[in-house]
Chains A and B, each alone.
Chain A
C-alpha cells in the first residue's frame, strides 16, 4: 500500500464529514479540474472552533488530509488553528507519498479559508449561511509565478509568462521547467 496505516484509517473512517447548514464560516479550495476540491465548514464559539466539518472530492490522500485537519482543528482557538500548516498535517498522518503532497497543501488552506470567511463575516456584520464562501485558489492549476490560470491541457506552459512548467517530483507543485530548484519546496530539480 502506498499509504501509511494512519492515512488509510482516516480515509476509511473519515472524521467530521458533512455540511454545517448554519456554519459561521465556509472555505473552499481547489477545483475538480485539478483533481481535488475541499469545502470546510466551521462553527465558532468564544473564539474557538466548536465544530468543523468537511466535504472532499479527491483521492484517498485528499480525504485523509481533510479528516486529519478537522481532527487537529476542533477545540483550537482561531489563532491556533491558523498555525496548522500543511507540513504538520502530513507529519501527523505519518507522511504522504511525495506525489501526493499537493493534497496536504490543500487541507490547511481550506480550513484557513473558512476562518478567513468567518472573520470577514464578523467585519461586515453579516450572518448566516447565505454569506459568500471564501474560495482560495490553489496553485495546482494556476501559474505559480504570475497566478494566471493555466488553460485546459496547457498545465505545462504559462502563456502569460511564456515559460515552460513542470511538476516538482518532490512536492508535486507546479514549478518552472529547467529551474535549479522547486519554487515551493526547494528540492533540487531532477537532472
Chain B
C-alpha cells in the first residue's frame, strides 16, 4: 500500500543532511558548551554556527537568537517574558482569536496576575484586519501577538502591517511564526517585528529544536532561570544535537524554500480544486491564496473528523483534523469557531500538510481514496440522512 504523509503541521520528516550534521553531537562530541576545555569549546562552536544559520533564515543578527526546547516554549517565553518585563508601562495585551494555545494559555495565566487582554477577531478566511488591532490598542497596551500563519487553516496574517501599527504606537509586537518559518520567506527587519518564534520540526529539523528571535535592546524576563546560557535569558544546558540540526535545517530551508514552495504549491492547489469537486459539501477553510504553500484544509459536512482520519490512515494516508474528538480536549477548534463556522461543520475538519517528499502520485492517491471514505461515513451519519430528507421535501 502506498504511504502518503500529509501531516506537515504535526511534524516534518528530518532532513537527511540535518540528521548527518547531528550525529557527531549524539556521539563523540558530547561536551558542554559552557565548559572551557576543548571538548566544551567544540560543542560551543557548533551551537554558535547554528545560531548564525537560524539568524540568516529570518534576517536577524546571531545575538538576537535564543534557542528553546519547542515552539511552545518560544511563545510562552515571548508572551510572559515581554509582558512582565514591560508591565511598569501597562498591563494590556492584544492577541488574535486564532492564536495557538501556547500563546492563548500564557495570556490566560497573565490575566490571573492582573493583565487585561483583547482578542482581535478574524474574518471568514481566518485573517486579522490590521485596523482591528489598531482599534484594540490602549494607552496601557504593552504587547501585541499575532501569528504569521495559522497551522489549522494555513492562512497568512498581515504581519508587516500589524507590526507597523504597533511600532507607530510604541507597542512591542511578537509573531508566532512556528507554522511559517522555513516555509515562507521571513525577514524580521522588513516585517518590523520585535520578537518571532520558530520551530525546527516544521521545516525538516529535529523535534525539540526551536528559537525565539528577540530584537536587540528588548528586555525580557526569563522563563527558565538558572545558569548563564543563552545570555542568561534561557538557562539549561544547550541541547547541542537539536540545535545543530536546527541550524542545518535553517540553512537548507534558506537555499531550497523557493523551489520547495514552487513544487508543492501546484499539488496543494490540486487538492483545493479537486476535493470539493469530487465530493459535495466539502468546504475549503482558510484563505484561498494568502496561505502556506504546503497547506490545504477543509471541512466536510455531516461527518466528524476522526472517522475520516482513521479510514484514510487505513489507506496509508496520514492527515490531521481539528475536530473535537481528535484533540484530546474534546473541544471544537477555536480557530474554526472564530472564523464563524458552526460547531457541526467544525467537527468535520481535515488538514492536509504536504511535505518535501510529497509526489503527484500521493495527491492522486488521496483524490481516489477520499470519496469512498466520505461516502461510507455519510451513510452512517444521521445528519446526512436528515439532509437528504430535507432536500427531497
Q: Among the listed stretches B37-45, B142-150, B321-329, which one makes contact with chain A, having 4 or more residues with CB under 8 Å of it?
A: B321-329
Dominant SS among interface residues on chain A? mixed
A35 contacts B325, CB within 8 Å? yes
**Cβ–Cβ < 8 Å partners of A39 in chain B:** 382, 385
Smallest beta-carbon distance B334→chain A, Å: 8
Further pairs besides A12-B314, A100-B325: 16, Cβ < 8 Å: A8-B310, A11-B310, A14-B380, A17-B380, A19-B385, A32-B383, A33-B332, A33-B344, A35-B324, A35-B330, A57-B302, A57-B347, A58-B304, A59-B323, A62-B304, A153-B337
Chain A, range 1-59, C-beta contacts under 8 Å to B: 8, 11-12, 14, 17-19, 28, 32-39, 55-59
Smallest beta-carbon distance B349→chain A, Å: 11
**Cβ–Cβ < 8 Å partners of A17 in chain B:** 379-380
Contact with A60, one of B307, B331, B343, B385 (Cβ below 8 angstroms): B307
**Cβ–Cβ < 8 Å partners of A57 in chain B:** 302-304, 344, 347, 381-383
Q: Does A155 make an interface contact (CB < 8 A)? A: yes
Smallest beta-carbon distance B252→chain A, Å: 33
A-B contacts, 5 of them at CB < 8 A, read: A11-B310, A39-B385, A55-B382, A56-B381, A59-B326
The 3 closest A-B pairs by CB, nearest first: A59-B325, A32-B344, A59-B306
Q: Does A99 make an interface contact (CB < 8 A)? A: yes
Chain B, range 361-393, C-beta contacts under 8 Å to A: 379-383, 385
**Cβ–Cβ < 8 Å partners of A11 in chain B:** 307, 310
A39 to B302, CA, bound (A): 14
Smallest beta-carbon distance A108→chain B, Å: 17
**Cβ–Cβ < 8 Å partners of B347 in chain A:** 32, 35, 57
Q: Decide: A38 near B382, CB < 8 A? Known: A11-B310, A59-B326, A153-B337.
A: yes
**Cβ–Cβ < 8 Å partners of A56 in chain B:** 380-382
A12 to B385, CA, bound (A): 20
A155 contacts B385, CB within 8 Å? no
Q: Does A152 make an interface contact (CB < 8 A)? A: yes
Binding site for B on A (CB under 8 A): 8, 11-12, 14, 17-19, 28, 32-39, 55-63, 99-100, 102, 152-153, 155, 167, 172
A167 to B330, CA, bound (A): 9
Q: Decide: A37 near B306, CB < 8 A? Known: A58-B325, A153-B337, A167-B330.
A: no
A155 contacts B306, CB within 8 Å? no
Chain B, range 266-316, C-beta contacts under 8 Å to A: 302-307, 310-311, 314
Smallest beta-carbon distance B230→chain A, Å: 32
Smallest beta-carbon distance A15→chain B, Å: 12
Smallest beta-carbon distance B339→chain A, Å: 13
A100 to B380, CA, bound (A): 19
B314 contacts A55, CB within 8 Å? no
Smallest beta-carbon distance B383→chain A, Å: 5
Contact with B343, one of A32, A55, A62 (Cβ below 8 angstroms): A32
A154 to B324, CA, bound (A): 15
A155 to B343, CA, bound (A): 13
A-contact 0/1 string along B116-140, CB 8 Å cutoff: 0000000000000000000000000
Most buried by A among B306, B324, B331, B337: B306
Nearest B residue to A18 via CB reads B379
A82 to B310, CA, bound (A): 31
Nearest B residue to A100 via CB reads B325
**Cβ–Cβ < 8 Å partners of B305 in chain A:** 59
**Cβ–Cβ < 8 Å partners of B328 in chain A:** 99
Smallest beta-carbon distance B342→chain A, Å: 8
Contact with B330, one of A19, A33, A37, A102 (Cβ below 8 angstroms): A102
Smallest beta-carbon distance A45→chain B, Å: 24
